[in-house]
Amino acid sequence: MQPLAMLCLDDSSAAKAAALAAAYKLPLVDACGLAAKSVRERLRFLQDQLGSLPALVFWVKEDVLQLAWIDEQEVLAIRAGFHGSAVNYRRAKGGGRSEMIARAIGIKGAKLPSVIDATAGLGGDAFVLASLGCRVTLLERVPAVSVLLQDGLERSARYAGTSDPQLAEILQRMQLVRVDAIEYLSRMKATDAPEVVYLDPMFPQRQKSAAVKKEMQIFHRLIGADVDADRLFEAALASGAGRVVVKRPRLAKPLAGCALGHSIEGKRNRYDIYMNLPL
C-alpha cells in the first residue's frame, strides 16, 4: 500500500507540503481546518478527499513530515528525527558502549567500525552507532520511508547548526543513500567494503497488540512481508565486510538457516554475529 496524498495541517507548512506533493506526484490536500472539526467531520472530510478509508497518507504539521495510517478507529503516525527530549535523554543517559548493538557491532576501545546499515528505516539504530563515533551509511529502498528519514536528518541538522554542535558532529557521520541494499551490496567493490554490515529486517507480523510498535504496524501496511531478507543477508555475507550483524527476535531462526558464529541475547531480541568472512 502506498501513500495516497499529501495533507497540509497548518498554514506554516503550506510551502513545504506543496513542494513535497509535487516532488512525489501526490495530490495536495488542504486540511488546515481539520483540528477544529469533530471526529465524525474529520472522517467524512478524509473519506471525501481520499476516496475511502483506511488509507496511508503523508502530512506536514509544524514543518514536520509524517506518514499516517488512518481508519475509522484510529490514526497512527510516524516521523523521523534526531533531536528532542527523548533522543537527548538517550544520548545522555543511554547504555552507550554497553548497549547490545554496540557490543555486536564491535565497538571497543579506540575501535569504531565503519558500518553499512542496510535496513535503515527511521534511522534509530544508525543514530545510536553514529553517537558512539561510527561512520554509518544508511541504505533505504522504500521511497516513503526514505523521504521521512531525509526530512528527519535535515530538520535535526538545522536545529543542530544553531543549538547543538555535538549533534551536528553526529549527523555528519550519517550518510543516507536511497537505494536497494541488495543491489548496492552486490555492486560493491571489495576495496570499498565496510567493516560491518548491519541488518534489522522486519520481524514477522504479529496480531495487533500493545507490544507492536506503531512504527512496525505502519511498515507492515506499507511494505507487506519482508520476503527477501534471506537474499539481503546473503548479499551482506558476500560483500567483503569483516562482520555481518543481524537483529532478530530472541526465539527466531537465523536468516537463511545459516549456522551462527555467536550471538548477544537480550530479553526480547538478539544480535547474530558472523565474522571473519572471506572476500
Q: What is the pLDDT of residues 254-272, one digit of tens each?
A: 988 887 778 999 998 999 9
3-state secondary structure of 237: helix
CA nearest to 237, candidates 174, 202, 204, 188: 188
* pLDDT score, position 2: 87
| β-bridge mates for residue 275, sequence order | 243
Query: Which run of H or E residues covers position 88?
Result: helix 85-93
Domain ranges of the chain: 6-78, 85-275
Q: List, for the chain, all residue ranges whose pLDDT scores fall below the cut of 70.
A: 203-212, 276-279
Per CATH, the homologous superfamily of domain 85-275 is: Vaccinia Virus protein VP39 (3.40.50.150)
CA distance 171 to 241: 23
Angle at 245 between CA 85 and CA 169, to 5 degrees: 40
* pLDDT score, position 279: 43
* pLDDT score, position 270: 95
* pLDDT score, position 148: 97
Contact assessment for residue 160 and residue 168, using Cβ atoms and an 8 Å cutoff: yes
C-alpha cell at 20: 513535497
| β-bridge mates for residue 248, sequence order | 270
| β-bridge mates for residue 69, sequence order | 56, 76
CA distance 179 to 176: 9
Query: Which run of H or E residues covers position 257?
Result: none
- State the greatest distance between any 2 C-alpha atoms of the chain, in Å, as a whole number: 61
* pLDDT score, position 203: 66
Radius of gyration of the chain (CA): 20
Contact assessment for residue 69 and residue 217, using Cβ atoms and an 8 Å cutoff: yes
